[in-house]
């Protein structure tokens, strides 16, 4: 797909990986609608990016927004859905574990109500995470949700063909979702990635480049694209 002149809708598009993807699409000539609960987080954006508020957990709001901006060629969701619970599963707060699946329900809403308005050669990209296939202690919720997202993509791909759907699986990425600042932030990322083949945190731009690849490559569907610094092999 040549994204120049195409229309893209990016949920979670005002921060982190989603914002990086929005900017990369805009730089390639796409018209981008970047959506989140708090669009002001995006700050100054290129003229090709329009900001819009929407909560991915509100199916009526998602359906209305997508219908209002239809048709489009590219549909991306990097929205987290909300906080996620970490820690040993046998000690886990089960309401928190259930809440971690808000990411999946948000993606389900985007695909369910957005797929109807996708162009015949359009494409969808979601974001999972490396714990989906290599879970470290304390990451059961991340692994469960990520695996469910990847299974959703594989299941939906045959149903929507020739339109495409893929998922990008990032490793440890330095984004604003991590509230830790200063030296502690650098120490946290250094510890988290010490055993990776590439022992550093990735950038939002590097993860977003995986999204762009999934969009532009017309021979890729129903698959998971890893951008993880060697997480799966470490």
Per-residue model confidence as pLDDT tens for the chain (234 residues) = 999 999 999 999 999 999 999 999 999 999 999 999 999 999 999 999 999 999 999 999 999 999 999 999 999 999 988 888 999 999 999 999 999 999 999 999 999 999 999 999 999 999 999 999 999 999 999 999 999 999 999 999 999 999 999 999 999 999 887 778 888 888 888 998 999 999 999 999 999 999 999 999 999 999 999 999 999 998
95's CB contacts (< 8 A; 6+ apart) are none
pLDDT of residue 59: 98
- Cα separation, 198 vs 189, in Å, equals 12
At how many degrees (to 10) do helices 102-114 and 59-68 cross?
40
Listed residue (81, 67, 74, 71) closest to 10, CA to CA: 74
Q: Which residue has the tokens 């195409």?
A: 6
Please identify, in words, the CATH class of the domain defined by 7-227: alpha beta
Burial of 10 (0-12, 13-18, 19+ CB in 10 A): buried
Question: Any bridge partners for residue 51, and if so which?
Answer: 34
pLDDT, tens digit (0-9, with 9 covering 90-100), for 124-171: 999 999 999 999 999 999 999 999 999 999 999 999 999 999 999 999
For the chain, the structural domain boundaries read 7-227
- Cα separation, 54 vs 59, in Å, equals 10
Question: Any bridge partners for residue 226, and if so which?
Answer: 169
């Amino acid at each position: 797909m040549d994204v120049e002149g195409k229309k893209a809708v990016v949920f979670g598009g005002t921060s982190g990986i989603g914002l990086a993807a929005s900017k990369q699409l805009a730089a390639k000539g796409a018209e981008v609608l970047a959506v989140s609960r708090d669009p002001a987080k995006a700050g100054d954006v290129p003229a090709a990016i329009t900001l819009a508020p929407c909560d991915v957990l509100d199916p009526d709001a998602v359906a209305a927004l997508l219908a209002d901006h239809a048709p489009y060629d590219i549909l991306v969701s990097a929205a987290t859905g909300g906080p996620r619970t970490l820690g040993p599963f046998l000690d886990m707060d089960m309401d928190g574990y259930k809440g971690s699946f808000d990411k999946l329900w948000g993606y389900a809403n985007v695909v369910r109500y957005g797929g109807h308005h996708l162009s015949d050669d359009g494409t969808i990209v979601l974001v999972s995470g490396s714990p989906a296939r290599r879970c470290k202690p304390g990451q059961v919720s991340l692994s469960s949700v990520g695996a469910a997202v990847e299974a959703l993509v594989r299941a939906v791909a045959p149903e929507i063909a020739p339109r495409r759907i893929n998922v990008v699986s990032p490793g440890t990425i330095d984004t604003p979702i991590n509230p830790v600042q200063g030296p502690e932030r650098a120490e946290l990322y250094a510890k988290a990635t010490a055993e990776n083949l590439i022992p550093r945190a990735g950038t939002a731009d590097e993860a977003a480049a995986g999204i762009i690849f999934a969009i532009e490559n017309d021979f890729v569907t129903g698959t998971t694209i890893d951008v993880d610094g060697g997480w799966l092999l470490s």
